[in-house]
Amino acid sequence: MAENFEDHLVRIETVHKDHLGQIRHWENLKLATEANFIWIKNFTEFQLNSVELQSIPFTQIFVCKDNLLFPKGSILPFGKMPNLLWTPIEKALRIELSNFNHNFFGIHQSVGIKLIPTEIEKKATVLLVNIHDASNYISNASAIRLKPLKWLLIDDKNALIFGEPMLPIDGKTFWQKGKFIFPLGLQLEFQLLEKSIEKKLNLSANQWIWWTSENSFCLIERTMLKPLSISSWKQTLKIERDECK
């Protein structure tokens, strides 16, 4: 007989509830609390066997039969199924965003949410480069090679280059999704919060949220980008150096 996964429940102590953030986006799940424990049900077969669930520590999986709870793989009952009040998981696990720093230069500003690794392949479209290393290539590149690209000077050492095909320059790569710019290989821990983050930041139509690391970001004004060319590169760096004298 095929296993009925609707009878499976997961239990975790309340003190470890922060670990549940990585499954909060599974809208089918329901959650209930009892004493010092949190119960979760409505898992699919895929979800019960997923890396996301199995990587959460301190969890216990039970199977409910005739109102009795059996530890998964055991024929001995653990106890009776408690009488619980179930709530959709995204409502039960409320997430509050910290206050954000709207200053463009607040690169090290921390936020209450973070990025996590993703196994889904993303296409890199943004490159963070050291301006000294990039100058060696850009100063001798053809106009056709640079024409599709735009760029932005970040500070006296770094610049962001947007567009494809990406230049063959060593640097840190990023991918874009809507108003977000993520490091390649990372995504929001709670993807359903994208719109909430945009609303919290009160973004203008010309702003991007650039995630510089797993838990830090800054805002970028699209109007600050300029077409990449040998002249724009050299002129901008010359002005920057003159202002620093």
**pLDDT attached to residue 97:** 46
The residues spanned by each domain of the chain are 5-92, 115-244
Residue 174 pLDDT greater than 90, yes or no: yes
Q: pLDDT category, 134, cuts 50, 70, 90?
A: very high
Q: What is the pLDDT of residue 191?
A: 74
Residue position matching structure tokens 């975790």: 12
pLDDT tens digits for 194-216? 877 777 776 778 888 888 887 77
**With helix as H, strand as E and coil as C, how does 69-128 read?**
EEECCCCCCCEECCCCCCEEHHHHCCCCCCCCCCCCCCCCCECCCCEEECCCCCCCCEEE
What per-residue confidence (pLDDT) applies to 109?
A: 43
Task: Note the pLDDT of residue 1.
Answer: 37
Give the DSSP H/E element, type plus range, for residue 198.
Answer: helix 194-201
Q: Give the DSSP H or E segment for 65.
A: strand 60-65
pTM summary value: 0.54
Residue 54 pLDDT > 90: no
- Which pLDDT belongs to residue 241? 59
Checking if the pLDDT of 59 tops 70, the result is yes
**Structure-model confidence comparison of residues 107 and 157, the more confident one:** 157
pLDDT band of residue 111 (cuts 50, 70, 90) is: very low
pLDDT of residue 110 exceeding 80: no
Question: 212 CB contacts (<8 Å, ≥6 apart)?
Answer: 107, 183, 218
Give the pLDDT confidence of 61-90 residue by residue, as tens digits: 999 998 899 998 888 888 999 888 898 887
Q: How far apart are CA 53 and CA 10, in angstroms?
A: 10
